[in-house]
Amino acid sequence: MIVPYFIIIPLLAAFLITLISSDDDRWAIVISILAVIILGILSVIGFISVSKEAIVYSMGGWKIPYTVCLVLDPFSSFMLFIIPLIGLAALLYSISYIRHLSKSWKYYALFMLLITGMNGVVITGDLFNLFIFMEVALFAAYSLVAYGGKAEEFEASFKYAVMGSISSSLILIGIGLTYSITSTLTLAKIAEVLPGQNPVVVNWIGAIFLAGFGLKAAIMPFHAWLPDAHSSAPAPISSMLSGVLIKALGIYVLIRLFYNVFGLPKIFSDIFLVLGGISIICASLLAISQWDFKRLLAYSSISQIGFILLALGIGTRMAVFGAIFHILNHAIFKSLLFFNAGTVEMALGTRDLRKMGKLGKVLPITSTTSMIATLSVSGLPPFNGFFSKMIIIIAAIQAGFFQSAIVAVIGSVLTLGYFLKVQRHGFHGEKEFNEITNVPSTGMRTAMIILAILCVCSSVLIIPGIKDVVFDPVIDTIINKTEYIQLVLGR
């Protein structure tokens, strides 16, 4: 039974790092990378194992709904693959990047706690333990945002903690209300019982969860914490926050609750459409006005989350495919962009695009990979972002949501606009550089190259035969509430 190891392995790694590491961080690096590689292998094995069914692990031998259960289904195993994928790239990037801040094992222990919490949220089958694992991930995230020890980082971490506490309080209230009307915390059992409850009460609970997890996902207007947190955090942590955290703690839970538990009532699909459209347009307009490279990327993350939410609001099979594909694509190209920003900041000592210039000569790999990531996030072929955005736009047109299709097209054009600004001023400006302060290490260059290759290679997932194997089981799990109940409860 591999299911509990998704939690045991990163938690054990965090414990071992704390136990055996001294002033040197070498053991911490080895343990972290080894743990993440094992998690990646297990996620692939798990995905193959659950292509047509779910693996349910009941703690203590008790039966549902009287037990704490862990559920591995195609959707959760898909997310469990993305987490170590980006985690491994971030760790490779971190080896030298973090050493210029602090040569300490504490970073890697917190990193493993972050992965433990995210894995726990994805794999848990009940609401309260979802809350517990979410808090574990957030505790690590707050600490890692402030890891550099600068005043702006402490301020960003404090703002993140305050907003996180508000959202966690809302979620805890929603959990209490859910238990009061269903007498269970198991998600599948709640889904089975909920249709017989007062729809007004159910809608109020859904609204509370939407606000709480909407804050975690940084959907507008619940986004206030994200620009500071993502721009102030160390670059590899920014990549984890944007690439996987806001999806594991936000988007994933919203999909699981509103599709598999609530059955996507029309009122919430309409809200998803509205909030998705607002996030796409408003965040893009805010990104255009930014000169801080990482802050621009932070607003871009909000905009890209808007594409996913818009697709979830459409709710057709093709739209859900586009949303899931974009979750993967965004994790790849946005993590790469944060790596690019971190490399430039370390080399030049600035994140201000106006103080950058011609970097192709001194940072050739960074410049090349940033161009690939720019084309990907802007939705240009043959890069991965083009295909997921195209699927979302086609799904909107097929479903008759023409306004949403127009919003997605405008959002893509605006994205291209502010990333052309990044390329024009940040990498192809007038200022010449003959030498730089800090040359990116082999690990940093390797992480950027791997993600740049994935920006191209992941496009093949749209090919029908490959898509059927990779995405169809995930889509089936999401859109079929009854099947999810049967998979978990076994009937």
Q: Where along the chain do its domains lie?
A: 5-489
C-alpha 424/C-alpha 418 separation (Å) is 10
Q: Classify the C-alpha dihedral 473-477-483-485 as positive or negative.
A: positive
- Residue 96, pLDDT score: 86
Which ranges constitute the DSSP H helices of 378-459?
A: 384-398, 402-421, 442-457
CA distance 202 to 377: 37
The pLDDT of residue 60:
67
CA distance 162 to 361: 43
**Tokens encoding 207:** 């609204």
Total-model pTM? 0.92
Going from the C-alpha of 38 to that of each of 42, 84, 105, 112, the distances in angstroms are 6, 9, 20, 13
The predicted pLDDT at position 205 comes to 92
Single-letter code of the amino acid located at 90: A
CA angle, corner 106, sides to 103 and 112, nearest 5? 125
Q: What is the DSSP string of 115-166?
A: HHHHHHHHHB-BHHHHHHHHHHHHHHHHHHHTTT--HHHHHHHHHHHHHHHH
Q: Which residues pair with 71 in a beta bridge?
A: 56
- What pLDDT, on the 0 to 100 scale, is given for residue 403? 93
Give the integer Cα–Cα distance in Å for 262 and 187.
10
Q: Give the pLDDT of residue 276.
A: 93
**Tell me, what amino acid is at 130?**
L
Q: By the 8 A CB rule, do 235 and 293 touch?
A: no
Question: How many other CB atoms are there within 10 angstroms of residue 400's CB atom?
Answer: 10
CB 89 within 8 A of CB 30: no
What's the DSSP call for residue 259? I
Length of the chain: 491
Please list the pLDDT of the chain residue by residue as tens digits (491 residues): 788 899 999 999 999 998 887 777 788 899 999 999 999 999 999 888 887 678 888 776 677 767 778 889 899 999 999 999 999 999 999 998 888 777 778 889 999 999 999 999 999 988 989 999 999 999 999 999 888 778 888 888 888 888 889 999 999 999 999 999 988 888 888 888 888 888 899 899 999 999 999 999 889 888 888 888 888 888 899 999 988 999 888 899 999 999 988 988 889 999 999 999 999 999 999 999 898 889 999 999 999 999 999 999 998 999 999 999 999 999 999 999 999 999 998 888 888 888 887 888 888 899 999 999 999 998 888 899 899 999 999 999 999 999 999 999 999 999 999 899 988 888 887 777 777 777 888 889 999 999 999 999 999 999 988 998 899 999 988 988 777 777 777 64
